Homo-oligomer: A and B are copies of this chain.
Amino acid sequence: MKDVLYDNPEFFRKYSQMYRSQHGLAGAGEWPSLKPLLPEFKGKRVLDLGCGYGWHCAYAARHGAVQVLGVDNSRKMLDTAQEKNSLPQIEYRCASIEQLELPNESFDVVFSSLALHYLPDYPALVRRVKDWLVPGGDFIFSVEHPVFTAQGPQDWVYGPKGEILYFPVDDYFYEGQREAVFLGEKMVKYHRTLTTYLDTLLQQGFRLRRVVEPQPPQSMMDLPGMKDEMRRPMMLLVAAEKE
């Protein structure tokens, strides 16, 4: 397995101090937009790709999921998941999403929060998710928005006084690897177009149920930088159904 950034102690320390890491779902700006996209979990078998601290696994379990598999490639993340979000229905497994092997039609719901932009091959993942899901199963995910990933550095353009001028978009149709800085560490992400995110699903036999770009909730508007989140989309939420 490759070097896992989330296992780097310094990065992990900074990640653990983020508002969303400390406050769980309630601390994630997109949660009020994401929650209505989730299916009924009662009696369902749920797979969470890139589960991190396990907040969504615990949410699914507490809402009736009978079996939840949380997958992440960071041991440190999973240690915290065990500590904060351990429930009898949940199994946490340390594995890279790309190498994961699971039986066909063994899940009712596949979920992924902010992980798929780390994968180089999205169409391949969509094919595998389709295999793992039962017919009528749900695939719900959030990713960084193509506007946010296009240029690479993921930073605003600033004016002479350090004020934000606008957000730069470049190289939009050149998909692939980008190097961004997150919490002071260089990390590789993959930019892909909106067409790739959505049309791949449509062409591979998924039906789109919802497509949402979350806006910052009113209740968080006073957090530092939150008002600027009205100026460009940062995330894309998608709910699809295997036909």
Contacts and interface: CB of A to CB of B under 8 A. Distances in A.
Interface of A: 147, 150-151, 157, 165-174, 193-195, 198-199, 202-203, 207-213, 215, 229-233
Nearest to A167: B169
B194 A202 contact: no
Contacts of A213: 173, 193-195
Given A168-B169, A203-B210, 13 more contacts: A150-B232, A157-B157, A165-B168, A166-B169, A167-B169, A167-B170, A170-B231, A172-B232, A173-B230, A174-B230, A193-B233, A194-B213, A194-B233
Return the 7 tightest CB-CB contacts between A and B, nearest first: A166-B168, A166-B170, A198-B211, A173-B230, A167-B169, A195-B213, A208-B208
A173 B165 CA distance: 16
- Copies of this subunit: 2
Contacts of A202: 208-211
A199 B231 CA distance: 20
Contacts of A203: 210
A221 to B, nearest CB: 12
Contacts of A211: 194-195, 198-199, 202
Contacts of A209: 202
A53 to B, nearest CB: 27
B193 A232 contact: no
Given A147-B147, A166-B151, A230 B198 contact: no
A138 to B, nearest CB: 14
29 contacts: A157-B157, A157-B166, A157-B168, A165-B168, A166-B168, A166-B169, A167-B169, A168-B168, A169-B231, A170-B232, A171-B231, A172-B230, A172-B231, A172-B232, A172-B233, A173-B215, A193-B213, A193-B233, A194-B194, A194-B233, A195-B212, A195-B213, A198-B208, A198-B211, A199-B211, A202-B208, A202-B210, A202-B211, A207-B207
A194 B166 CA distance: 18
